[in-house]
């Protein structure tokens, strides 16, 4: 490999120019996009893919492939151009290649257009070769940490003498924006602590953001920051110098005790003979005239569009393609031998990678006896989690320094640390944002991860949860301390709006169980999910364990909502519906109303999403349209409950923040008592009669 030159187009330089010009042409054709970063990072991306990456374009789901994460997702044109030139094949829903190109030349011409596989930012599942959805800056970095952690865990679990099934590395390309986001520091700190030597971040240090020079708002020394976080830091003075780039990548490969940050100095839109306007280079097409000048500077035909010389695709095929094919075929052969040598581990690996579950995985989930005192649903969840963990070895996770409170420790699972990567308990530290992003990386790698914190800190996790829903990843989030029942900790810790916010997120399954047995059923529902994230919302305070000999079985949770207690002797006059900790006082109100001769029905609604997915006949059987006297009870925002109570109904809910006081005092103040619920239901019936 030789250094760069503007006049002598070597084969390497021809490939780099092809990457640049395809990216420019795609953005210009769309009249939308970011050409600067793809132009500046094309040499480095080419060098990584062609010379270093362990990746088979014909089998882009090969489990031991190196991962390339484009954290700077606005540079998507670069990734699509790489996928096209490398000959990556599309895969179906089961990860099997049907043979078609993942990104054709026509796909590049339809960049950012409706229905294309080349959207404005890379989207996992939509485009083969895209390892994770990126766009929100820094997210790709957090995900890459989870991917690197997964590799370490997989190697510790499955590698055996003579069988190195997992040895891949994880690369993430990021920019100044990623480095400014706090997530980069959280994720970098975690990676440094865990000494993830298989993780390499490549920092495109071009000192430009949308507003202009980074000097306007960013003056720290990024290399010094990462040295302090325990990283190996390598500087490449010119991102166009392929020799220096390759040396840096090889230095990373030799580093065995820490993650690596390669700081690559570049100029956005580098190569154009005139100084390109910052905003145009970063966030807008260059324009036809500027593109012609840039192509001339690259030694490229000025009037060509979407030109791909045959030598370029042939070169990629002989480099990345041949190397990747040999590696993946060797791996597949080793896996066959591994299955013979270690049949149980082989079955486990196959099941994990296919998102399956062992037969009888839920056999040991406990059933909880009726108990007026009961226990907190976080306590019940901890018991269920440990029962499931015994049957599903790849269930791993932890908390943001709150495991004693969220009850998320796997007993005997060991801690995941640099010296013990087989541990199943991950100590994320007080890094909620990095935890949520890393969970997605773990999920991408086939593990079944969960993470936990208090519900009011959901906001620190929300960007990653949103991406999990967008990517259809079966990540599990466990949020405890779910209401004003937190009590004396006060309004800073009492979630009011969080349930409504999560329910507004497409594709996210929210489960707020009413007691221990509903909690057990919630785990039965969420564990088989293959393409959907789930949120388990749990109480800190003890909740009565409902007597299921008197009331309906907890298995009704699977339908999202079910009739827990029904009117005797005729149709209900009023329907009372609730979730979580508010179900028990509704049952008490039901009993009081029954003594008065008021026919009421109590509906437990642990999951709106599951209820909405039920057939119309079932929904009408639970909430008969003719019964318009309805009351909802939930210690959160009433937003959304109007769907179920109707215009004539009432919602006992939180319309202000909470307060610092014992939980019982708060329940009385805000109306979450059996007496107030019964009074409200009684008023509804009287109003109807009148």
CA nearest 475: which of 500, 456, 449? 449
Sign, CA dihedral 246-248-249-253, equals positive
- Contact between 631 and 650 under an 8 Å Cβ cutoff? The reply is yes
Q: Please name the helix (run of DSSP H) or strand (run of DSSP E) that holds residue 321, with its range, or none.
A: none
Residues 344-380: b if buried by 16+ CB within 10 A, e if exposed: ebbebbebbeeeebeeebbeebeebebeeebbbbbbb
- C-alpha 368/C-alpha 517 separation (Å) is 6
Count of helices and strands (H, E) across the chain: 26, 21
Tokens of 375: 């226990």
User: Catalytic residue among 123, 290, 379, 432, which?
Assistant: 432
Tokens of 355: 């998102």
Neighbours of 237 (CB within 10 A): 10
**Long-range contacts from 382-387, C-beta under 8 angstroms, 24+ separation:** 382/407, 382/408, 382/409, 384/519, 384/520, 384/523, 385/410, 385/450, 385/523, 386/410, 386/411, 387/362
**Catalytic annotation present for 568:** no
Tokens of 572: 């209900």
CA nearest 137: which of 73, 77, 217? 73
- Contact between 538 and 376 under an 8 Å Cβ cutoff? The reply is yes
Q: What is the DSSP letter of 52?
A: I
- C-alpha 207/C-alpha 139 separation (Å) is 20
CA nearest 401: which of 186, 197, 196? 186
CA nearest 43: which of 197, 283, 248, 224? 248
Q: What is the residue whose two structure tokens read 């989870």?
A: 146
- C-alpha 434/C-alpha 315 separation (Å) is 38
Neighbours of 229 (CB within 10 A): 20
- C-alpha 238/C-alpha 244 separation (Å) is 8
265 DSSP β-pair partners: 205
Q: How far is CA 101 from CA 6, 87, 89, 97, 193, in A?
A: 31, 7, 4, 9, 40
3-state SS of 353-418 is HCCCCCCCCCCCCCCCCCEEEEEEHHHHHHHHHHHHHHHCCCEEEEECCCHHHHCCCCCCCCEEEC
Euclidean distance between the first and the last CA atom of the chain, given in angstroms as a whole number = 88
- C-alpha 180/C-alpha 488 separation (Å) is 36
Segments of 555-688 assigned E as strands: 562-565, 574-578, 600-604, 630-633, 650-652
Q: How far is CA 182 from CA 227, 233, 428, 431, in A?
A: 17, 19, 15, 10
Q: What is the DSSP letter of 275?
A: P
- Contact between 210 and 170 under an 8 Å Cβ cutoff? The reply is no
Catalytic residues: 432
């Amino acid at each position: 490999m030789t250094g760069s030159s503007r006049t002598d187009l070597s084969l390497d330089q021809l490939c780099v120019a092809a990457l640049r010009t395809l990216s420019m042409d795609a953005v210009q054709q769309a009249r939308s996009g970011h050409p600067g970063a793809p132009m500046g990072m094309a040499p480095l991306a080419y060098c990584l893919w062609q010379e270093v990456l362990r990746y088979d374009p014909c089998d882009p789901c090969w489990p031991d492939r190196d991962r390339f994460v484009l954290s700077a997702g606005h540079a998507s044109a670069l990734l699509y151009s790489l996928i096209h030139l490398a000959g990556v094949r599309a895969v179906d829903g089961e990860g099997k290649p049907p043979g078609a190109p993942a990104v054709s030349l026509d796909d590049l011409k339809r960049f950012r257009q409706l229905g294309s596989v080349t959207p404005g930012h890379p989207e996992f599942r939509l485009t083969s070769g895209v390892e994770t959805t990126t766009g929100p800056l820094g997210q790709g970095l957090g995900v890459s940490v989870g991917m690197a952690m997964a590799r370490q865990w997989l190697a510790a679990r499955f590698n055996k003498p003579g069988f190195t099934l997992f040895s891949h590395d994880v690369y993430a390309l990021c920019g100044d924006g990623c480095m400014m986001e706090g997530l980069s520091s959280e994720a970098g700190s975690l990676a440094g602590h865990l000494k993830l030597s298989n993780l390499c971040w490549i920092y495109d240090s071009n000192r430009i953001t949308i507003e202009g020079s980074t000097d306007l708002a960013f003056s720290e020394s990024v290399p010094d920051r990462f040295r302090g976080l325990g990283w190996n830091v390598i500087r490449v003075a010119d991102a166009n110098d392929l020799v220096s780039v390759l040396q840096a990548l090889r230095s990373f490969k030799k580093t065995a005790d820490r993650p690596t940050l390669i700081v690559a100095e570049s100029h956005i839109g580098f190569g154009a003979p005139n100084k390109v306007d910052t905003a145009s280079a970063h966030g807008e097409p260059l324009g036809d005239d500027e593109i012609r000048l840039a192509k001339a500077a690259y030694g490229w035909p000025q009037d060509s569009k979407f030109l791909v010389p045959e030598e370029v695709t042939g070169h990629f095929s002989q480099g990345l393609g041949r190397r990747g094919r040999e590696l993946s075929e060797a791996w597949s052969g080793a896996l066959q031998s591994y299955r013979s040598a270690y049949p149980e581990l082989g079955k486990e690996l196959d099941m994990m990678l296919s998102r399956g579950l062992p037969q009888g995985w839920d056999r040991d989930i406990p059933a909880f006896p009726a108990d007026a005192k009961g226990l907190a649903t976080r306590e019940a969840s901890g018991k269920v989690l440990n029962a499931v963990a015994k049957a599903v070895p790849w269930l791993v996770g932890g908390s943001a320094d709150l495991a004693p409170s969220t009850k998320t420790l796997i007993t005997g699972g060991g801690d995941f640390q640099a010296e013990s990567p087989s541990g199943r308990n991950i100590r994320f530290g007080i890094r909620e944002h990095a935890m949520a992003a890393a969970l997605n990386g773990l999920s991408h790698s086939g593990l079944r991860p969960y993470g936990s914190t208090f519900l009011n800190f959901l906001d620190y996790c929300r960007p990653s949860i949103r991406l999990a829903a967008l990517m259809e990843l079966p990540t599990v989030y466990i949020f405890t301390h779910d209401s004003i029942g937190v009590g004396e900790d006060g309004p800073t810790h009492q979630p009011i709006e969080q349930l409504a916010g999560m329910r507004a997120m497409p594709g996210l399954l929210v489960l707020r169980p009413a007691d221990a047995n509903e909690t057990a059923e919630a785990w039965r529902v969420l564990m088989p999910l293959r393409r959907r994230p789930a949120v388990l919302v749990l109480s800190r305070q003890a909740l009565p364990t409902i007597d299921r000999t008197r009331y309906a079985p907890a298995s009704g949770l699977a339908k999202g909502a079910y009739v827990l207690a029904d009117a005797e002797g005729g149709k209900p006059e009023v329907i009372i519906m609730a979730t979580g900790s508010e179900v028990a006082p509704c049952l008490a109100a039901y009993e009081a109303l029954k003594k008065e001769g008021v026919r009421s029905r109590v509906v437990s609604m642990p999951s709106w999403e599951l209820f909405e997915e039920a057939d119309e006949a079932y929904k009408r059987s639970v909430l008969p349209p003719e019964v318009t006297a309805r009351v909802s009870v939930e210690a959160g925002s009433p937003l959304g409950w109007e769907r179920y109570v109707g215009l004539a109904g009432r919602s006992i809910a939180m319309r202000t923040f909470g307060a610092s006081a014992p939980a019982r005092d708060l329940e009385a103040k805000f109306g979450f008592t059996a007496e107030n619920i019964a009074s409200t239901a009684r008023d509804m019936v009287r109003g109807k009669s009148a």
